[in-house]
Structure 1
Amino acid sequence: MVIRWISLIDIRSYQSLEWAPDSQVNLLIGPNAAGKTNLLEAIGYLSSGRSFRSGPDDVLISFDAESGVIRAGLGNEEDEHLVEIELTRGRPRRIQLDRQRLRLGSDLTEVIRTVTFLPDDLDLIKRGPARRRDLLDQVAVQLWPITALDQSEFAKALRQRNAFLKQRDRDEATLGVWDARLAQSAGRLVSRRARVVDALLPEMERAYRDISSAEVDIALDYRSDWVNELSPTTPAGTYENALSEALTELRSRDMERRMTLVGPHRDEPVLLLDSHDSRFHASQGEQRTLALAIRLATQRLLTESTGKPPILLLDDVFSELDDDRSGALAKLLPDTQTFISSAKREDVPISGRPWSLEGGTLK
């Protein structure tokens, strides 16, 4: 599936844009603040209903507008689709696929998938566990879109349980109801995290070797107060029971602290490189290679699992790499629709259709 055309109205720096990109490699060249990342963000939003930047949906709307619209025509040799997304300040967004309204933005994943390489991907390695939890969950959504519903149910149950814990009058029977709802969705979430880890790690080792020619062992240490072992063969119900027991055991602590201190939202996935914590014992170059390997491995896993290569988005990535890694990445990028942004054409060692971007204008 490729993007045949895309239209933006009052999205970030684009008051109005109509664009028919190339079906292969598109090079978005322009200075800082030209709108390159904004365009990639809109393309990424088409596939997931979420931005790769932080913040609520309405930050995508232009400053002086009350609403913004993203439309795109998608197609391949067998099928065509129309995606329409309307964002309005103070109102729920409206997402339609072929004129039919979707409940979840992740439902778009059924027809279009993207993998995004970002300059701050080093944070996947160096920073706290939230980025790595989100990585596992988002890969799970792309493989099994129903995961987004589990995420939504877990987040809702967590908010409600925490709100109950903050109340003055609390009874344990009511808390038990929230425990059950939380544990049920958490069991499904962690079961899918386990399956993602099992499938992704071998691809990461292969991608790391392809980039650096180095043989390394990559593992993930899933540190948790309630999961004894992360295994793809463990049923979701087993994880559900484990969290139920942990919530009961730690109930007095949660009531004292007035928040939920155990669950998938507190787990700490840590990437190990040759059995060492990559946050502290890997060099900057090794961390950079590991971050690239994560994205390449995700692309390969999605292609193998779905039979449909995802669209690639690379936001000013090559300028962050040395010549060796830049050249290796260029050779490893698959034959699929790709969007690459850069301030300078000479920083991108790939041939493709160049587009000049400046002041929100695309030529």
Structure 2
Amino acid sequence: MHLRHLSVADFRSYHGAEVPLSPGITTLLGRNGQGKTNLVEAAGYVASLASHRVASDAPLVRHGAESAIVRAAVVREGRESIVELEIVPGRSNRARLNKSPVTRPRDVLGTLRTVLFAPEDLALVKGDPGERRRFLDDLLVARQPRWAGVRSDYDKTLKQRNALLRSGQHLWRSGGRRVPEHRLVPGETLEDARAAAEATLGVWDDQLARVGAALTYARLRLLRDLGPHLAQAYATISDADTAVTATYRSSLEGPFAEAVAAGEVPDQDEVYAATLAVLRDRRREEQERGVTLVGPHRDEVVLGLGELPAKGYASHGESWSIALAMRLGSFHLLRQDVGTDPVLVLDDVFAELDAGRRERLAQLVSDCEQVLITAAVAEDVPAWLTGRGRILDVADGTVTPREHEHSAGE
């Protein structure tokens, strides 16, 4: 799989840009602030419908414009597909596949697969648990796009359940005291109100447990499959004997959580039953606090370096190696699953690595079908790597192919 062409209009700093691409290694060179990362961000958006830099779409639209357009020509096994996305802040985005509108933007997921590594990925090791949950869920969608719908369903269910818990707090905190009449339906007793709230909460418990079990089960299988690729990538990049591991820590606690932490993957029905049981056990606490305390949104992925947790113990260089290994492990897992390479994007990565890690990374990516690299100066990237591919100069919103002075063998 590779990108043949990338086009943007009113995206970030660009009024418009046309970027011709080809298989192999392409390096986008330019000083900081010239728009290199904006281009690879656009490619990543086509693949995931999200930015690796910001949580919302509004910053992606050029100041003063009403919307942005990103268009990508993707070649896979000799067949070309055109994906076009219109990003409209405050409204629903629109998407086309091969010039035909699709019902939902997420229907284009899977047309392009990318694995993108950027300086922000250091948060995968040093950041809060949400960073690692998002990493897993994004990889799930890249592996099988249908998981985008499951994620969306879970988020909606969680939001509804939390709203119910908050709206009913006055019922549970009142104890045996009288609830003000204006908080009850006319003619309704406190016992009636509590019974109705309990019944409604039971419905949402079942929905949360079902969708949450599907997501948790998928995450556990993914982590099991990713583990060997992660360990191998870290060993190669770091050139060290210390092993890196990734362990799932479930919010369900008890024997279930212990089994999961030991690497077991219970079936989906077991996860569902365990989730319902813990929801029942913690119901009163959730009612009093007005928030859901159990489920995949509360789970954690614990990265280990040898016998110690990576967070707080790994050095800066080790943290970089772990984060990079997570992305390269993802790349090899997707390559194994799909049978074709995703597009690998290295956004300003080489500048952050020492000479040894730069060289080992370059060796690792040299056989990928397509690699997009951004760098402020050519010296950041091993010369033999840039010498094998194309260089695009990026300056003031203009992308210019450079006449290559090296032969492919140099």
**Shorter-chain TM-score tier:** over 0.9
Residue 23 of structure 1, CA deviation: 2.2
Residue 112 of structure 1, CA deviation: 1.4
Residue 342 of structure 1 is aligned with which of 350, 356, 375?
375
Q: Which residue of 2 aligns with 1:141?
A: 141
Q: Is the 8 A contact 1:106 1:141 kept in 2?
A: no
Q: Distance in 1 between the 2:370 and 2:5 partners? A: 13
Correspondences of 1:197-236 after superposition (within 5 Å):
197-226=223-252, 227-228=256-257, 229-230=259-260, 231=263, 233-236=265-268
Q: Distance in 2 between the 1:122 and 1:58 partners? A: 24
Q: Distance in 2 between the 1:67 and 1:338 partners? A: 29
TM-score (norm 1): 0.96
Q: Which amino acid aligns with 1:12?
A: R
3 and 225 in structure 1: CA distance in 2 versus 1, 3 angstrom threshold: closer
Residue 276 of structure 2 is aligned with which of 244, 251, 255?
244
Q: Which residue of 1 aligns with 2:345?
A: 313
* Aligned partner of residue 22 in structure 2, secondary structure: coil
* Aligned partner of residue 355 in structure 1, secondary structure: strand
Q: Which residue of 1 aligns with 2:121?
A: 121
Residue 87 of structure 1, CA deviation: 1.4
* Aligned partner of residue 294 in structure 2, secondary structure: coil
Determine whether 1:282 maps to 2:319: no
Determine whether 1:301 maps to 2:333: yes
Q: Is the 8 A contact 1:48 1:107 kept in 2?
A: no
Q: Distance in 1 between the 2:264 and 2:3 partners? A: 34
Q: Distance in 2 between the 1:232 and 1:143 partners? A: 21
* Aligned partner of residue 312 in structure 2, secondary structure: helix
Residue 104 of structure 1, CA deviation: 4.9
Q: Which residue of 2 aligns with 1:8?
A: 8
Q: Distance in 1 between the 2:308 and 2:102 partners? A: 44
Q: Distance in 1 between the 2:148 and 2:62 partners? A: 27
Residue 77 of structure 1, CA deviation: 4.5
Residue 101 of structure 1, CA deviation: 3.5
Tell me which structure has the larger Cα radius of gyration. Answer: 2
* Aligned partner of residue 276 in structure 2, secondary structure: helix
Q: Which residue of 2 aligns with 1:44?
A: 44
203 and 240 in structure 1: CA distance in 2 versus 1, 3 angstrom threshold: same
Q: Distance in 1 between the 2:303 and 2:163 partners? A: 33
Q: Which residue of 2 aligns with 1:71?
A: 71
* Aligned partner of residue 52 in structure 1, secondary structure: coil
RMSD value, Cα:
1.6
Residue 215 of structure 1, CA deviation: 2.7
- Consecutive aligned runs of 4 or more in structure 1 exceeding 6 Å deviation: none
Q: Which residue of 1 aligns with 2:155?
A: 155
Q: Which amino acid aligns with 2:148?
A: A
Q: Is the 8 A contact 1:50 1:105 kept in 2?
A: no
Q: Distance in 2 between the 1:240 and 1:77 partners? A: 39
Segments of structure 1 that go 5 or more residues without pairing to the other structure are none
Q: Distance in 2 between the 1:55 and 1:114 partners? A: 18
* Aligned partner of residue 50 in structure 2, secondary structure: coil
